[in-house]
Chains A and B, each alone.
Chain A
Amino acid sequence: MSVALDAVPVPTQFVYDGPARRVVLVGDFNNWDEQATPLEREPGSALWSVTVPIQRGRHIYAFLVDSVWTVDKRAPVARDPDFGVTGSVILVGRP
């Protein structure tokens, strides 16, 4: 695979399961922006999701559930020696 093709972002879905008024995705792929990537709730359920284009590789992220830092319970945990706040990890490859 060429480097150029390799750099094409891959649509990646994130799902949070739980009651909440608002869920936001923050990570190294969206500047850790607390406003940029809200999740949408599936009608009639407690499932929230969003799909965002992400470069291939390893990424750290978390959900802000009603403004509370929350790891993705379905993903591995990323220890954080820099700030001491664990996040979640996703490895993105080709779809």
Chain B
Amino acid sequence: MTLRPLIVLAVVALPATLGAQDARSARLDGKLDGETQAVVLRTLDSARTRGLPVEPLVDKALEGATKRAAGPRIQAAVEMLMRRLETARDALAPNPGPRDIAAGADALAYGAPREALVTMRAIRPNESIAVPLGVLTQLVASGVPVARATRVVADLLRRGARDEQLIALNNDVRNFVAAGVSPQAALDVRMRGLNAVLPPAGVAGAATGDNAAPTALSGKKP
């Protein structure tokens, strides 16, 4: 490609980019005080420069506004989220989507280690892992130790578990915990149920349906 078409492309693309930026900035108008908006906009610029998605940052500022948080608290929350987004983006390399990056940042906020994100991306290199990361976050929020939750979700991904099976696992664990069962016991019992329908790691895809025949590992812990 010669220089001239590149310049034309840049000129054509620039207004659209600026338009998107204006739209995001406009969403903050009237929601934040002047100083907070200025600080948040600077953070958005910094995020753009680093190649990070800015939508989660705008959402975080709007969340703070809706929750009637003080300006400095909103500024700090947006800044901290940008750092988590950067860590998540790097952990989910080479080309994570914005939703995966945001889900990774959430998991980090709940104490998931960076390595957990790296592991899940390695297992699912070409599909979104927003749901598995969301399930990881919720399992930890339910009281499952982060190391155990990470192992379980990674193991289920290796064995071809569908997102819906992961969500069902999380919902069941939550219901058990609400009924007074310990988070670890709740996870153990549901894992026994999933062991009956998922193949062992390495042969994922052979039988991942809810009605699949039990495998040789039925009833065993992973």
Contact A91 B27 (CB under 8 A): no
* Most B CB within 10 A of own CB, among A7, A56, A81, A92: A56
B67 within 8 A of A: yes
Contacts of A34 in B (CB 8 A): 66
Contact B131 A91 (CB under 8 A): yes
Contacts of B134 in A (CB 8 A): 57-58, 91
Shortest CB-to-CB span from B13 to chain A, Å, is: 22
Q: Interface SS of chain A: helix, strand, loop or mixed?
A: loop
Contact A91 B167 (CB under 8 A): yes
Contact A83 B135 (CB under 8 A): no
Contact A58 B99 (CB under 8 A): no
Complex partner residue of B67 from A6, A69, A76, CB under 8 angstroms: A69
Complex partner residue of A7 from B58, B128, B174, CB under 8 angstroms: B128
A31 to B23, CA, bound (A): 13
Q: How large is the interface on B (under 10, 10 to 19, 20 to 34, 35 or more residues)?
A: 35 or more
Complex partner residue of A28 from B63, B80, B126, B142, CB under 8 angstroms: B63
B123 within 8 A of A: no
A6 to B131, CA, bound (A): 10
Among B94-120, those with CB < 8 Å from A are 97, 99, 102-103, 106, 109
Shortest CB-to-CB span from B112 to chain A, Å, is: 12
Contacts of B122 in A (CB 8 A): none
Q: Interface SS of chain B: helix, strand, loop or mixed?
A: helix
A42 within 8 A of B: no
Complex partner residue of A91 from B65, B99, B135, CB under 8 angstroms: B135
| Tally of contact residues, A, Cβ under 8 A | 31
Contact with B along A30-58 (1 / 0, CB 8 A): 01111000000000000000000001111
Contact A56 B131 (CB under 8 A): yes
Nearest A residue to B177 via CB reads A76
A69 to B68, CA, bound (A): 11
Contacts of B127 in A (CB 8 A): 1-3, 6
A32-B63, A82-B64 as given contacts; A58 in contact with B128, CB under 8 Å: no
Contacts of B99 in A (CB 8 A): 7, 55-57
Contacts of A85 in B (CB 8 A): 67, 69
Contact with B along A79-95 (1 / 0, CB 8 A): 11111110001011110
Contact with A along B41-63 (1 / 0, CB 8 A): 00000000000000000111011
Nearest A residue to B60 via CB reads A82
Contact A93 B65 (CB under 8 A): no
Contacts of A6 in B (CB 8 A): 127-128
A-B contact pairs, 5 of them (CB 8 A): A56-B131, A60-B63, A76-B138, A83-B73, A91-B134
Interface residues of B (CB under 8 A from A): 27, 58-60, 62-67, 69, 73-74, 76-77, 80-81, 97, 99, 102-103, 106, 109, 126-128, 130-131, 133-135, 137-138, 141-142, 163-164, 166-167, 170-171, 174
